[in-house]
Amino acid sequence: MFTFSSPLALPDSPFFTAAGLTSGSLLLAGCQFEQQHWQADLHQRWQLPLPAALANAVVKRKSEHLASRWLAREVLLQLGVEGFVLRNAADRSPCWPAGIQASLSHSHNQVVMAATREPLCVGVDVEQVMSNDTARETAEMLMNTQERQLLEQLALPFAQGATLLFSLKESLYKALWPQLHQPMDFLQAALCAADLTTGSAVLRLTADFGNGFNQDVALQARFCCEAQRIITLVTHPLAGQ
């Protein structure tokens, strides 16, 4: 699912090393970049201005901003929107054009994005596999007993399984935020099925949020599990669709 079969043309710079996307009504895209090749003039050259709030940010943050805005512009172009520059709302959520549902995530020199004109909630996430210590420290707030047992049945190393669960819930949160604008606790959604062979999963809400997203509503997910990286995608019909 996360094999980007169609390459995207890269700008003339060593900053990007690869970029591509999938075809279909739901576009999935990704790019790899090297933060050591970030230069301030790239923002002007590519007409992707660096916000004043990031003027004194570390290079890591500036390079993530540049790469994610470039990818967003390229993906939106595929949906017929030219010259799009992604900006954030006051709550830091991305502001997408009307009629487009999208989600963006970045981690360790990679950006992933999902976008569609279909009436869908969309949430995507990419994570580096957490350390064993972090997995143990976060397990209690991240998973219930049934989820721990399900992850054990998948026969994944504990840190990899915990990262998969974390990423799935991050994708779910991103998918629902534009509809609910409500914070969610990790235990307010539960993983109830996962299949490593198909890369598919199902999460179920364990709390009532309103607007059609109440307890026991099931949301479909897909994922790609690698040794050091996890990518997840959650989609769900928009309320009333």
Q: Which residues are annotated as a binding site for CoA?
A: 61, 69, 105-106, 125, 170, 174
Count of Cβ atoms closer than 10 Å to residue 70 Cβ = 24
Sign, Cα dihedral of 40, 45, 48, 49 = positive
| 226: CB partners within 8 A, 6+ apart | none
Binding residues: 61, 69, 105-106, 125, 127, 170, 174
Q: Which residue ranges make up the annotated binding site for Mg(2+)?
A: 125, 127
Element (H, E) at 207: none
Residue for token digits 């970049």?
Answer: 33
**How far does the chain reach from its first CA to its final CA, in angstroms?**
25
Pairing of β 16-21 and β 229-237: unpaired
